[in-house]
Amino acid sequence: MVIAIQIILLLILIACWLYFASMLISDLFGVPFVPTRNKSLDQIFDFIEFNQKDVFYDLGSGDGRLPFYIAKKYNIKAVGVELNPLLHVFCLFKKWLTKSEKVQFYRRNFFNLDLKPATVIYLFLFPEVVEKLYPKFMKHCPRGTVIISHGFKIKKLESKKVAELPNKPFATYFYRL
């Protein structure tokens, strides 16, 4: 009994350590790992009418909760792109565990990624990073691509804004190129 409790405590300790280590690593890459709240997901994605041809990308996908949620709820392909190796391994493990065939994860810097296949792109990133992505969107994304920015407006895309969800603590902004 005592050994079982010790093992559980050790596992909790390892999980906490991995969580804080992954936050630290993401921080070093410029954007900390702060996940979108699960309870906001239905509200955010009720704004989008997905069809079976849509391909969802989360740029900086953290623990992968958005790709898993989208693939399961809408049965479409959902891609997560993440620099942090710990979070990437966690996503691969969860994919294996849940046998989710529609999700795909890349351990990559999203600035070096081909965004053409994406029809819906999700961002929860600092404003300066989002603004740096703007030229990439304009150059590579086809007309009609939907861009969702959670937390921060994309000032340069103001004229293409189609909706806004004024939630707390983070609002969500929707654009269509």
Ligand X SMILES: C[S@@+](CC[C@H](N)C(=O)[O-])C[C@H]1O[C@@H](n2cnc3c(N)ncnc32)[C@H](O)[C@@H]1O
Contact residues toward ligand X (CB under 6 A) are 26, 29-31, 33-36, 58, 60-62, 65-66, 81-84, 87, 109-111, 124-125
Cβ neighbours for 139, distance < 8 A, ≥ 6 positions apart: none
Q: Which is nearer to ligand X, 130 or 159 (CB)?
A: 130
| Rounded least distance, CB 134 to ligand X, Å | 14
| Rounded least distance, CB 6 to ligand X, Å | 32
Burial of 125 (0-12, 13-18, 19+ CB in 10 A): buried
Q: Which is nearer to ligand X, 143 or 169 (CB)?
A: 169
Q: Which is nearer to ligand X, 17 or 111 (CB)?
A: 111
Q: How crowded is residue 168: how many other Cβ atoms within 10 Å of its Cβ?
A: 6
Dihedrals phi, psi of 43, to nearest 5 degrees: -60, -45
For ligand X, the nearest residue by Cβ is 60
Q: Which is nearer to ligand X, 8 or 72 (CB)?
A: 72
